[in-house]
Amino acid sequence: MKLFRSLDEFPADCYGSAAAIGNFDGVHLGHARIVERLRAMAARVGGPAVVFTFDPPPTRILRPQQSPMPLCWLDRKVELLADLGVDAVIAYPTDAAFLSQTPTDFFRRVVLQKLRAKGLVEGRNFLFGHQRSGDVGLLEQLCRQAGVLLEIVDPVRIEGAEVSSSRIRKLLAGGDLGAANRLLGRPHRIRGWVVRGAGRGAQLGFPTANLDSVDIMLPASGIYAGRAEADGSWWPAAISLGPNPTFGESALKVEVYLLDYQGWLYDRLLTVDLLSRLRDIRRFDSVQSLITAMTADVAEVRKTVSNYCGAGACPGNDSAQS
Picking from 279, 25, 21, the residue whose alpha carbon sits closest to that of residue 169 is: 25
**Based on the domain organization, do 242 and 293 belong to the same domain?**
yes
Distance from C-alpha of 265 to C-alpha of 247, rounded to nearest angstrom: 24
Check whether residue 17 and residue 126 sit in a common domain. Answer: yes
Instruction: Give the structural domain span for 49.
Output: 2-158
Do the Cβ atoms of 206 and 244 come closer than 8 Å? no
The reported pLDDT for the residue numbered 314 is 56
- Distance (Å, whole) CA 126 – CA 134: 8
- Quote the pTM value: 0.93
Are residue 137 and residue 228 in the same domain, yes or no? no
**Residue 267 belongs to domain with CATH number:** 2.40.30.30
| Cis before 187? omega within 30 | no
Any domain includes 170: no
Residues designated as active site: 255
Query: Which residues does residue 54 pair with via DSSP β-bridges, in sequence order?
Result: 92
In a domain, 180, yes or no: no
* SS3 call for 98: helix
Q: How many domains does the chain have?
A: 2
The reply to whether 197 and 316 lie within a common domain is yes
How do the pLDDT tens digits run along the chain, 322 residues long?
Answer: 999 999 999 999 999 999 999 999 999 999 999 999 999 999 999 999 999 999 999 999 999 999 999 999 999 999 999 999 999 999 999 999 999 999 999 999 999 999 999 999 999 999 999 999 999 999 999 999 999 999 999 999 999 999 999 999 999 999 999 999 999 999 999 999 999 877 777 778 899 999 999 999 999 999 999 999 999 999 999 999 999 888 888 889 999 999 999 989 999 999 999 999 999 999 999 999 999 999 999 999 999 999 998 744 454 444 333 3
Residues 147, 214 within the same domain: no
Same domain, 48 and 152: yes
Gyration radius of the chain over CA positions: 22
Expressed in percent and rounded to 5, the helix, strand and coil fractions of the chain are: 35, 30, 35
Do 193 and 63 share a domain, yes or no?
no
Whether residue 130 is found in the same domain as residue 227? no
Do 134 and 265 have their domain in common? no
User: Which of 271, 243, 298 has its CA nearest to residue 187?
Assistant: 271
Q: Is the domain of 91 the same as that of 6? A: yes
Task: Please report the sign of the dihedral spanned by the C-alpha atoms of residue 276, residue 279, residue 281, residue 284.
Answer: negative
pLDDT (0 to 100) of residue 248: 83
Which of residues 158, 179, 207 is at a domain's end?
158
* 21/135 same-domain check: yes
Up-side HSE of residue 254: CA atoms within 13 Å toward CB? 23
CATH number at 150 reads 3.40.50.620
* 281 inside domain: yes
Nearest to 247 by CA among 296, 197, 200, 297: 200
Assigned domain for 216 exists: yes
In a domain, 7, yes or no: yes
Distances (CA, A) of 35 to 70, 85, 122: 20, 8, 9
In a domain, 164, yes or no: no
Looking at the fold, whether 154 and 292 belong to one and the same domain comes out as no
Distances (CA, A) of 302 to 7, 8, 310: 47, 50, 11
Burial bucket for residue 311 (CB in 10 Å: 0-12, 13-18, 19+): exposed
The residue out of 158, 179, 195 marking a domain boundary is: 158
Chain centroid to CA 297 = 26
In a domain, 24, yes or no: yes
- Residue 105 is predicted with a pLDDT of 98
Q: What is the pLDDT of residue 202?
A: 74
At 232 the three-state DSSP class reads: coil
Q: Which of 110, 143, 158 is the last residue of a domain?
A: 158
